[in-house]
Chain A
Amino acid sequence: MRNALRFAGLAVVSLLVTISGGCAPTPPAFFRLNMVEATSPSAEKDSISAEIALTAEQQRQVATILTAMFGSPDKPECLPETGLDSAKLILAAGPVRSDIVGRKNGLYREHCVHCHGITGDGLGPTAAFLNPYPRDYRPGVFKFKSTERSSKPTHADLVRVLHTGVAGSSMPSFALLSAGEVDALVEYVKYLSIRGETEIALMQYFFELDDEDEGKLAETRDFLVGEILEPIAGKWASAEEELIEVPEMPADIDLAASIAKGRELFHGDKANCVKCHGVTALGDGQANDYDDWNKNIVKIETKLAALAVGDADANERRWAAEFREVLAGDALRPRTIPPRNLRHGIYRGGRRPLDIYYRIHAGINGAPMPAAKGTVPPEDIWHIVNYVRSLPYDFDGELGADRAVAVQPSSVGGLVVSKASTASEEN
């Protein structure tokens, strides 16, 4: 009996010790400041230096202004100028819980946070393991939309992305959520994006201050709402008017002829597709460009590396050391963006002919893919679309005809001829 008591006592003590180590009360969620931007607040990441970096006081001011304008992850606020629906934001924000009528709240935290981060910075806990990286909403740039290149996506565009997911990436399809839940999530994404763009605009405005402002932003409605917020919100509001006009593809189109014409255009020098996508459309024409999110980090890292070998003063070196610390936590290792392998039949922005038309017409905002608008007439874009859509099912002829056979020395001596890898019938 005594032994039993001893054993039980021991078990209880060890359990308590284990639990107390790991179960501290969770601190409330908080938005993180865009530290990379705060350390290099410039539109051009080539021209950054210690002088333009924000001081701690200035960072605090930005954080305070953002809290005033946008609230916190648990309690979002939105000024009417943003054009956002605060009821939807409440549904999406905060911890996962049910509200008084039994509806699920905290949708963003349930579905999105672990990749996209609580601040929408694409730096959630799982982000580093993904290829491609999850979207960072803060620059306000979105790739897959039905609007012109420089415009924002429409509400329907973002709903579509949530509904179909992004094939070929880790972004899943949320088709199983209800329409109301998807709407709430889209609204919250827009909220995070507007907040991120406001943050960047505020940080970059410090350079525009005159000396008499003493390095402090004016905390007035005219400035914060009129000069900073309204242009950003205005771009989102005008997205519906900037849709790409898509002419009809003729219903009686001769598909084989269209594909042949598309192939000519693909290889031609009007559209220049092969320059990046390669003559066999395997995406091997180029391997050294970056998308905008990664390009900024590459520019910063180049700048820091140049500082290390040049003769920088103590201030610059301290700033560089601080920046390296910031990058270690707040930036993912930059990755090049390879041009799409069109033979896979996996299209990130959607596989409808319409989606591929959008990609060719406006290019992909944030990525190196340029716009063919104005240079390639719409009927020709349709021919290229038909050609591209035929590529995954094109098993003979093309690869043999176009591809210069890669010749490699084999270890045995003599030469080994290797064929280009093709997409198997399983995509």
Chain B
Amino acid sequence: MYDLAIIGGGPAALSGAVYAGRKRLNTVLITKEIGGQLLLTSEIENYLGFESITGAELADKFARQMAQYDIDEIIGEKVVELIKEDGLFKIRTEGDRTIKTRAVVLASGKRSRTLNVSGERELAGRGVAYCATCDAPLFAGRKVAVIGGGNSAFEAVIDLLPIATEIFLIDIAPHWLADPILIKRMEGSPKVKSFQQHRVVEILGERRVSEIVIEPIEGGEIKELEVQGVFVEIGLVPNSEFVEGLVKMNRYREIVVDCHARTNVPGLFAAGDVTDVPEKQVIISAGEGAKAALSAYRYLIRQQGQV
């Protein structure tokens, strides 16, 4: 039986683990991967104390700081169920482990949103990609499409610029949402052709992607673009399915927390991108994770003799 289980491996979870470790809570961290979305971020220039650092390096520093404390780790497994029974929490992982704990910090973050168009699911891993950092090197000398207009879409374009022969950047919005500094890095490249205010109709291909079909959102001529890769970078959805029905969520399926990182379920705290806290930033997640762990500590203290 643990005092605290922290679900997740990103900045909120690791920061929470450091605080839980310092409070000497009997803690377990359960995560598919240490680093969370940090691992998919090439350069971070707005985390205080580091003028510029890669996401992977920052994740490594967080993990090393956590390793100074006595925290049990279950790495490589996703949580598939979290229930509360008789005042205690029971967590089940995809590897069929069961963990019992008195309190939980949920920091399971977000994952890529899918397009939900014909061909996407069938061709995932056959040219449809959701991790530009991972898969961009596989598209050397090929034509690709990047879907989206935010920072992650532009980062994907920047990753692909030295590799692909032609890049179609497709977005439904009339204006790019990415930071101006990223837009500037792409501007002027003859490799990039932009299609703003266009939606993806379908992705075609037999064993691998061969074409993407797009149309203007106001209606008009459908275009078929010959591509071998489609990088989907249209934002994120929260990893909150396993607490569906247990905890209050907003309409985006984000977990609703108060300013103490408390959910509506006593003993269940949440932090980082999976919550409804505005501004999904590394520095904000780290702060929220710390806050959630301290709130969990106070909750446990109030349960006399439980720590």
Do A and B come from the same complex? Answer: no
